[in-house]
Each structure stands twice: as structure tokens, then as C-alpha cells.
Amino acid sequence: KGDSADYDEEVQSVCPFCGVGCQLSFKVKDGKIRYVDGVEGPANENRLCVKGRFGFDYVDHAHRLTKPLIRRDGAEKGLNVDPANPLSHFREATWEEALDAAAAGMKGRGREIAGFGSAKCSNEEAYLFQKLIRQGFGHNNVDHCTRLCHASSVAALLENVGSGAVTATFNEIENADVAIVIGANPIENHPVAATYFKQFAKRGGKLIVCDPRGVGLGKFASHRLQFKPGGDVSMLNAMMNVIVEEGLYDAEYIDRFTENWDEMKAHLADYTPEKMAPICGIAPDELRDAARTFANGKAGMIYWGMGISQHIHGTDNSRCLISLALMTGNVGKPGAGLHPLRGQNNVQGASDAGLIPMFLPDYQSVTDDGVRSAFTEVWGSEDFSNEKGLTVVEIMDAIHQGQIKGMYILGENPAMSDPDVDHARAALAKLDHLVVQDIFLTETANYADVILPASAWAEKTGTVTNTNRQVQMGRRAVAPPGEAREDWWIEVELAKRLGLGWTYTHPSEVFAEMKLNMPSLDNITWERLESEAVTYPSLSPQDPGQAIVFGDGFPRADKRARFTPAKIIEPDERPDAEYPFVLITGRQLEHWHTGSMTRRAKVLDAVEPEANCSMHPRTLRQMGIAPGDTIRLTTRRGSVRVMVRADRAIAEDNVFLPFAYVEAAANILTNAALDPYGKIPEFKYSAVRVETDGIA
């Protein structure tokens, strides 16, 4: 960090990493970002974590793509084709040539083409991407990383509350006296949000931290429930059983604002703490104490992360959390609410903008004829399919089955992020036409036929929506390198070549179009966002937005939320003699998702330069493994070699493996089994074998 002499321009924008959406200021000199400082944004109040503060220099990395590229005739597809010269299988092209080639390989191919957009792009770019697929190819096979993140949470929220977004900002913990944080590791994954949680605990708030790992926030907790992986539904049902049995529920709230309570009560009768304790691994007394603490609070928040969502029972997990909040009257008042902590900086906004196969913008169903015609009227185009499209993992399966033959992938990296990633890589290799738009030669770009060099977040202007539903303005601080371009510009040029007649000349025009069919943006204009963040819904041009929603009922029939009982569903595979451990994958503080940005950020890479996994020290001792040794992890899908650390936070029969490292790609190991509602894979539970034999 320097002083004002070290820069000649300050540009206020938003952090490019997690969904907290911290506002920051890029300090720019001679066209380069010199350093970053936090500013007074609604979510961060000047705070930044290590990624936001030190993770900016990837934008200047020598690996940036600066020219459009076309695969050389006959060149092999895939990773490590020529590690010494990674661009050797491509040749440089002009923008005209590359865009023409990209469009020519897709035009007129309808259902043979699918698209993955990006939660790292702006709202306008996400909107344009889904429009391009729907208008250009007539179907809904368009998705993005929400499918790998909170799709099951959104499915449960839409089903039971009528809205897929949070009911209260995470900052509402300031008004709570009790909070549950479950299946989340905010100190590493949402670090600035975690500072509010820690302050809450220090003020005496009751913090109930539940996770199969002993996550760092547990140090601040009044209650720590380190349950067995996959034991969430049993644990939550047992807590709700206690609340019912002891009459701790809010009868007045239930009567006024909910439906299906009698069925829920009957369902819970069987889930006593004594019966559930062996399944979830938490003693009956602890379950009772946690249940009483939450139910007796005056106002309680519930936060959850991918430990809840990334299971084949992810939707059931979220249903339980929704029921817990409803039965205790903890929605729609200060200090109370449901808050799935969103992952990527714009996964909320990209989902709101319709970058999902079953919904148009604002979660309006593609199966509704009136909804589609409202959009096609604005778009001036033909009707498109009324069938829900395929999701991320389903698209990979459809490639293997020969139904999808080409893809347009913007800013996503399925060759690293998909479950059972060898299956996904084989699918990408099968495509006869793959267009990748990105800032680096990602693992996915290695399979591309055409690569379009795009802009980093600091190089573009556009709006972004954080986990709190706060819409904020991201501003261009520096120019993209070489011939790289802003993503919205590339999308427009491609659409022109597909014959879609797009004429946008600035993202503000796209935002204006979005507003025509997105009531969530009522009273929010581009001009307002130039000077302030606005939380949707905003009730008037002066209203900064509603931090808490549903105080007077829900956007469902009769304004009532629903209790949906959840039964216990076993994980898709269980440990056995051959694969005796449970593998849990996730993130680390310093690295972001597939590592394409943070592993190219000097400070972050210096702190965490090497692929690693963690196991309990006692387990390591029993196996004759020393911390720092290389071990082999093997599941039914594949094998990786990785350095192991000792960590008492990991249960003795578990292994934790971050997924940012291509040299030990965690998703070679993960299971592609899907939650039936959210279609999210079971990243958080695979049976795994740990070996040392034969490792040098």
C-alpha cells in the first residue's frame, strides 16, 4: 500500500472474487493497478480480505491472451499438448477472422450448440449471453457455475419461499441475537462477511457453527456441531423435532405466514435426537441445546454454503434450513433471515439475468408462453423452445451422446470445475466446434477451436449483484492488454455474425433493456448506480433498497411459505474396504475456484504455491505418513498425487482437498451424481483411498 504520490488515478469498483461484493478502489498509475484499497461499500465498510487487497496483479500476468487465436489444422486438443510452448497448437488471427470462424461453426446449428456463461462477468454480459443462446439457437441449453454452487439452495428457496435470493443481507447479523452458520467456511471463503460474524460473537451473540470440518469460525462459536459428512438432514430434523416436542415454535407466525405445518410436524415426530445421533454424529444433548438456543433467540439468521448445497440431497438440506427459520418465525424481521452465502462475485446477478436453463431473467419460467413472448417482443425475434434446457453436467453427457456438438464457453473452466472431470474433458475433446472466451489459456481453452481474448474485471464497466442483492457498479480502471476486448463487445460482434441484428454500443443500453422485463430492477437505473449501490427490491427512486424482505408475506399463493419435509437420503457412494475415507473438496483462503486468476497473483501464489490436501494428524501417524509427504488419493473416477498437511480440523476418516490446483485436480476424483431438483453434483462426498506405496 502506498500514498497518493504512488498513483495518478483512483477508480472505484467491486472486488472480482467472492459474492460478498466488497467495494474497492483501484489505484492506477501509468495504466497499471499499483494497489487496491477498501472503500465504504454497503457490504464491506472499507474492509477487504487478502484476495481483494493483494489479488489484483493477475491482470498484468504474462500469460494474458492478447490476440484472437485459431487452432492450427490438425493440432491435438487437450491439456499439456506442448507444456514448453502452450500456445503452439494455435495461430494468431485478426478479430474479423476469429469472430467469423467462431460464428461460422455455430450458425444454423440449433440444438447442436450449447453455452456456458460466467458468474465472473457483469449482469449485462450474463444477460447478453443467455439471449444469444435463446435467440440465436432457439433453445435453453445455457447454464453457468451456479449449477455447481447453490442451484439446490435456489431450488428449495423458490419452492418454499417463492424467491431464490437471500431474505436478509448478511450484515443483518448486527441485529440478531442468535445465528447458525452451516456447511460454510466464511473465514476462508467469505472473509469480510466473517468479520461481521466474529464481531457478533464477541458482542455475546450465540453463534452455532455446524460443519464436518472444524472450520475457523468455530473458535468464535457458542456451539460447535462437527457432524458427519452427509448427516445434515438427520441433524437438522432432530433439532426441529426438539423445537416441536418442547413447544418452542412460533405458532402465531406459522399460522399467519406458512402452509403444510401439520404434515411437517407429523414428519418430524420420528426424528428424535436419540435416533439421529448415530447418523449425524452429534450427541442428543448437544442437538437439544443447539435447537433450544436457536428457537429461544429473539431474532436469528441462518447462513449456509456449499457444504449444504453440494450433495445429492442438497435441496433437502436447504428445505430443512427454510423450515427451521419458518417454524421459529425467523424471516422478515430485523436480525432474522435465510442467507445462502453466494460464491462468485456475480453468481447472484448472472442467475437473476437468466443465465440458467429453466428460467429467463428474474426466474420467469421458460415454459410459460406469456413470459417467452414478453422477451421475444423486446428482442424482436421468433419464439424459442418452451422446454427447460440442459444443465452443466447434463450438457457434458449430451456431448458424449452426440446430441451437442459445439459450445460457446465464456469465462468458465469446466475442464477443471466439473465433477468427474476426465469425463468432462473427454466431452470437450469430442466437440467439433468449441469457442472459448477468456483472459488466460485455461484448461478448457486448451480444447478450443477459436479463442477470443477477453477482459478482466478491472478492465470493464458493468453492474454486478452480490450475495446481499446489492447491485453495484464495476468500473473500468485499466485497458485490456493488446487486442483483448470487453466481453459484452465480443458477444455483440458474435451475435451480429449470427444474424441477430444487435446494435448495443454500451452496457448501459443492455441494462435499460433488462429493466423492461425484470421487475427486480424497478427504481434502479444505470444513473443511480453510478453514484450508489442499490439493494433490490427498491420501492422508490429514493429507496436504497430492502435489506429484509417478506415481512408481510411471501411471493407465493396466499402469501404463505411452505414447509417441505425432508427424509434422509444416503450419499451416492459410501466408504468401503477399498475406499475407506470420505473426500471433501472446497476452497482455500488464498485461491479462487480453479486458480486461473489467483495462481497468477504474486502474493497469493507465494503464500499458497503448492497443491495440498489435509488429514487429521492421528490418521497420518497411524498410516506412517509425515506432514509434507506426497500421497495418492484414488476414487472410483481416478487418482491424484498431492502433498498432505496435518490438520486437526479434519475428522479422522475424512480428507480435504482444495480444487484450485491443476496438478492435483480435485475433480478427477469427485462424483457426478446429481441432486434431482437442483441438478448439483455431490462435490462434498466421495469415497476415497489414501496410499503412500510407490510415491517417491
Nearest to 504 by CA among 451, 455, 461, 453: 461
Residue 22 in grid coordinates: 466488497
Q: Which is nearer to ligand SF4, 48 or 690 (CB)?
A: 48
Smallest separation, CB 239 to ligand SF4 (Å): 29
Smallest separation, CB 56 to ligand SF4 (Å): 10
Smallest separation, CB 120 to ligand SF4 (Å): 12
Q: Which is nearer to ligand SF4, 15 or 39 (CB)?
A: 15
- Determine which residue in the list 7, 11, 13, 20 makes contact with ligand SF4, applying CB under 6 A: 20
Q: Which is nearer to ligand SF4, 20 or 424 (CB)?
A: 20
> Environment class of residue 250 by beta-carbon count within 10 Å: exposed (0-12), middle (13-18) or buried (19+)?
middle
Taking the C-alpha atoms of residue 459 and residue 275, their distance in angstroms, rounded to an integer, is 56
Nearest to 56 by CA among 11, 118, 123: 11
Smallest separation, CB 141 to ligand SF4 (Å): 31
CA distances to 182, 297, 321, 554, 574 from 179, rounded to whole Å, are: 10, 9, 12, 22, 31
Taking the C-alpha atoms of residue 80 and residue 83, their distance in angstroms, rounded to an integer, is 5
Rule CB under 6 A: say whether 304 interacts with ligand SF4.
Answer: no
Is the C-alpha dihedral spanning 69, 75, 78, 79 positive or negative?
negative
Q: Which is nearer to ligand SF4, 41 or 218 (CB)?
A: 41
Residue 402 in grid coordinates: 452426440
Smallest separation, CB 12 to ligand SF4 (Å): 14
Smallest separation, CB 338 to ligand SF4 (Å): 20
Rule CB under 6 A: say whether 33 interacts with ligand SF4.
Answer: no
C-beta nearest to ligand SF4: residue: 52
Contacts of 83 (CB under 8 A, 6+ apart): none
Strands (E) in 502-603, as ranges, are 534-535, 561-562, 581-586
Region binding ligand SF4 by CB under 6 A among candidate stretches 61-69, 189-197, 234-242, 521-529: 189-197
Q: Per-residue DSSP letters for 70-95?
A: EEPTTPPPSTTSSTTSTTTTEEE--H
Q: Which is nearer to ligand SF4, 54 or 554 (CB)?
A: 54
Residue 118 phi, psi dihedral angles, 5° rounding? -135, 140
Taking the C-alpha atoms of residue 552 and residue 366, their distance in angstroms, rounded to an integer, is 29
Q: With contact defined as beta carbons under 8 Å apart, do 611 and 642 qualify?
A: yes
Contacts of 131 (CB under 8 A, 6+ apart): 354, 379
Q: Which is nearer to ligand SF4, 406 or 586 (CB)?
A: 586
Q: Which is nearer to ligand SF4, 20 or 668 (CB)?
A: 20
Smallest separation, CB 554 to ligand SF4 (Å): 29
- Determine which residue in the list 42, 191, 332, 337 makes contact with ligand SF4, applying CB under 6 A: 191
* Count of residues interacting with ligand SF4 (CB under 6 A): 14
3-class secondary structure, 267: helix
Residue 451 phi, psi dihedral angles, 5° rounding? -120, 130
- Determine which residue in the list 21, 105, 230, 586 makes contact with ligand SF4, applying CB under 6 A: 21
Look up residue 408 and give its DSSP letter: E
Taking the C-alpha atoms of residue 231 and residue 216, their distance in angstroms, rounded to an integer, is 20
Q: Which is nearer to ligand SF4, 44 or 323 (CB)?
A: 44
Q: Which is nearer to ligand SF4, 15 or 687 (CB)?
A: 15
Taking the C-alpha atoms of residue 266 and residue 218, their distance in angstroms, rounded to an integer, is 33
Rule CB under 6 A: say whether 22 interacts with ligand SF4.
Answer: yes
- Determine which residue in the list 11, 13, 18, 320 makes contact with ligand SF4, applying CB under 6 A: 18
Q: Which is nearer to ligand SF4, 183 or 186 (CB)?
A: 186
Q: Which is nearer to ligand SF4, 191 or 565 (CB)?
A: 191
Identity at 670, one-letter amino acid code? T
Rule CB under 6 A: say whether 305 interacts with ligand SF4.
Answer: no
Residue ranges in 38-57 that form contacts with ligand SF4 under rule CB under 6 A: 44, 48-49, 51-52
Taking the C-alpha atoms of residue 328 and residue 295, their distance in angstroms, rounded to an integer, is 6
Rule CB under 6 A: say whether 15 interacts with ligand SF4.
Answer: yes
Q: Which residues in this chain contact ligand SF4 in the complex, by CB under 6 A?
A: 15, 17-18, 20-22, 44, 48-49, 51-52, 190-192
